[in-house]
Amino acid sequence: MSKFKDVYNLQSQIFKPETLDLSEKELKKLMRKLLEYQTFTVDKGGSSEPYDIDSPYSKKWFKAYEHLLVLISMKQQNFKYYLSLILSIIAIVITGFGLYINFPPDFQS
């Protein structure tokens, strides 16, 4: 199991303001790195059991995990809104062009 210090250092990296500028791919790399420090223990039988949720280690890990999920979700939403805006502009241009072809302006009057 990793040390509390490792999780604290990774959490510090996750909560830096520069993390907001990372791409979705880079955020997912951070998530994979965080998942290496997943909080569980293995008993004598070989099965995994959750680590004590009330421990400081688990609290730090879950805060970092939740924050990364929010950042990844925000990046995905940002892309969807950008794509929606671009498609709306294309639809307006096509509609205007279609109106111009079907109803050309009469410049002779």
Taking only the tens place, the pLDDT of each residue in 18-38 is 988 899 999 999 999 888 877
Higher local confidence (pLDDT), 6 or 103: 103
Tens of pLDDT, residue by residue over 36-65, are 877 677 777 777 776 777 777 778 888 888
Output the pLDDT for position 43.
72
Identify the band that residue 72 occupies on the pLDDT scale cut at 50, 70 and 90: very high
Do residues 51 and 40 make contact, with C-beta atoms less than 8 angstroms apart?
A: yes
Q: Rounded to two decimals, what is the model's pTM? A: 0.69
107 part of a folded domain:
no
Distance set, CA 106 to CA 25, 39, 61, 88 (Å): 53, 73, 69, 28
CA separation for the pair 84, 80 (Å, rounded) = 6
Number of domains into which the chain is organized: 1
66, part of any domain: yes
For residue 109, is it within any domain?
A: no
108 domain-assigned: no
Does residue 53 form part of some domain? Answer: yes
